[in-house]
Amino acid sequence: MTTIVGEQTVRHIGLRSRIYTIFQKEPRSAVLFVVSSLGLVLAGALSFVGIGALASIVLVICALLVLTSLGVEIATKLYQKEFGLDLIAALAMASALWLGEYLASAVVAVMYAGGQFLEVYAHMQADDGMSELLSHVPSTALRVTATGLGEIPISDIAVGDILLVRRGDTVPADGVLNSDLGVFNQAVLTGEPIPVRKDKGCDVMSGTSNAGDAIEIRVTRTPQDSAYAGIVKLVEASRQSKAPMMRLADRYAVGFLLLTLAVAGASAIAFEDVTRIVAVLVVATPCPLILAVPVALVAGTSKAAREGILVKGAAALEALAETSVVVFDKTGTLTAGEPLITRIEGSADPNELLRLAASLDQMSAHTVGRALVKEARRLHLELGRPTEVRELPGAGIEGNVDGVRVSVGGDHYFGLDENEQASSSDPRSSMQARVFVDGKIAGSIILEDELRHDATAAVLALRKLDIKRLVLASGDQRAAAESIASKLGFDEVRARLTPNGKVEVIAQQRDLGRVLMVGDGVNDAPALAAADVGVAVGSTNLAAAAEAADIVLVRDDLKAIPTAIAIARRSRAIALQSVYVGMGLSLVAMGVAGMGFLPPVAGAFLQEAIDVAVILNALRARF
């Protein structure tokens, strides 16, 4: 029993907090609702004690207050070349005042203000998942200097700074642990419920919180380029976007307004009763069009955020719902992304060949390059500092290392044909990095990359969602790509692709429907941007991914892709359901009002009931 009371108390506190937030962020909606409601209650009390004339004045004041505010809003929208269905509410209040239906006018005013208040509250409810992510954004940091500690703004953090992160504080920038041991809560990024222990030198992601004693980190990326910056960019973009369904509702606004006026005018002429104009207008609720779609889609993006899926807005969510083709990158997406060196071939000394290649690849973010650097450091090889570096993302890199010109890349980077490719002991699962020194081939580094543990389950789940086609688009050699594709049952394999080649694959597949591209967010950036929906996997390059991708899987789990599609489809279905049912009820109510069976006051209450039902139904997308 104690637990239940506690939960109820928390809910009440949460409700009060939301209402208080509405008054802070949307004072207009909140004040109009409170003032008009109190005015209606006061008018009722005055009528009860027999002061009907004063009650009428109070009702007129309430209606005029809301009508004036609404008129300013309509004028502003028209100036911005936007047309909204709020004009129907304004016409309903104005016509009721003109015809002396003061109570009806005041009730419409309260219902309109209440609808606006409810809309803000619904958006806050739907936005919970994303707001939780933003709540972890710090504003200041403690920098360790020779003279002690200094509190600085986040914007002043630079690469190489040593920061002190106290127990409970959020890590403000990506870095490496400078202390011997740290304990971090990574739930907001990875979904892991249990804090993670890390040793000195381990990577620490921004957005995680310190769950242990105070520690120091050395900054490796500025806050603007850090992992959590990508999340913030995605959330803000999500809040500002407008889906095609929502723009479609705007286009329907004119038609719905004309239909409403036609029904109201025809009813008044047919029955020679002008009050029926008011009755029709007050039940012509636009909420199914102007509220249901945005609330449902925002609720869907919020649900996705709680699953570790950041969607860049309602438009991306709607496009995701219509996806029928999925194109995957291979390395780092379907594979573990941490290839291991199995052998080094060539005439040069293997360690020297690796040292030169790793020295150059310190400047690359490619998974193969990181593998070379990791192996070289494991062998304690002394890496040089490369200069005059040029990289073709996803293909190869070249530059000067210790006085020689070094180039590292795949066969297609050097323009080698099939006959010139070196053989390997297991060509079906191997990849190789060619190394050229001063323009001559010095050898090849053979690597193995295992299939991700979650890849098979993700592909099976996509098949269950009736995805028409699965395509593997890889920059690796065909044998390695076909090995992965055969294990997963892909429909098509395209290998030895440059980043622009992947863009061409996207364009070709678009004939079969909307295309979703899944990649690592850096080398696949052109393809992610070209697809109808781009999904970036992993959390190490979120800031870069936020620019190119529409969706980022914060928790680095491929099974989240079918989950995201399912959430998007359900959200879109709920939005359409709310529109069709809500508009159907409104049209029926208009007909009943036009026939004279629904007086203006009752119609106003019915309108609000329809609005509330539509919004509550749209909020189902949160769960």
Q: Would you name the residues annotated as active-site residues?
A: 329
- Taking each helix axis from N to C end, the angle separating 27-48 and 102-126, rounded to the nearest 10 degrees, works out to 140
The residue among 432, 502, 507 whose CA lies nearest residue 474 is 502
Supply 479's token pair: 């044998």
Helix (H) or strand (E) holding 256: helix 244-271
Distance, CA of 375 to CA of 368 (rounded, Å)? 11
Those residues whose C-beta lies under 8 Å from the C-beta of residue 212, and which sit 6 or more positions away, are: 167, 181, 182, 183, 184, 195
Q: Show Cβ contacts of residue 409 under 8 Å, excluding neighbours closer than 6 positions.
A: 392, 395, 396, 397, 398, 433, 434
603 near 284, Cβ under 8 Å? no
Q: Which helix (H) or strand (E) element contains residue 118?
A: helix 102-126
Residue 389 DSSP SS3 = strand
The DSSP result for 33-88, as a single string, is HHHHHHHHHHHHHHHHTT-HHHHHHHHHHHHHHHHHHHHHHHHHHHHTT---THHH
Whole-angstrom distance, CA of residue 64 vs CA of residue 96:
11
Neighbouring C-alpha atoms within 13 Å toward the C-beta of 581: 18
- d(C-alpha 506, C-alpha 515), whole Å: 7
What's the order of all strands across the beta sheet hosting 387-392?
340-345, 440-448, 430-437, 404-409, 396-401, 387-392
Left, alpha or beta for 337 (phi > 0: left; psi -120 to 50: alpha)? left
Pairing of strands 551-553, 309-311: antiparallel
Q: Among 284, 237, 279, which residue's Cα sits nearest to residue 258?
A: 284
DSSP 164: E
Which letter does DSSP use for residue 396 in this model? E
The CA angle 204-360-225, to the nearest 5 degrees, is 35
Q: Which residue spans within 71-208 are E strands per DSSP?
A: 140-145, 148-153, 162-165, 175-177, 181-185, 196-199, 203-204
Q: Are strands 209-210 and 181-185 parallel, antiparallel or unpaired?
A: antiparallel
Tell me the sheet residues that pair with 124: none
User: If DSSP states are collapsed to H, E and C, what string results for 441-485?
Assistant: EEEEEEEECCECCCHHHHHHHHHHCCCCEEEEECCCCHHHHHHHH
Nearest to 586 by CA among 156, 321, 367, 284: 284
Contact criterion met (CB below 8 Å) for 282 and 96: yes
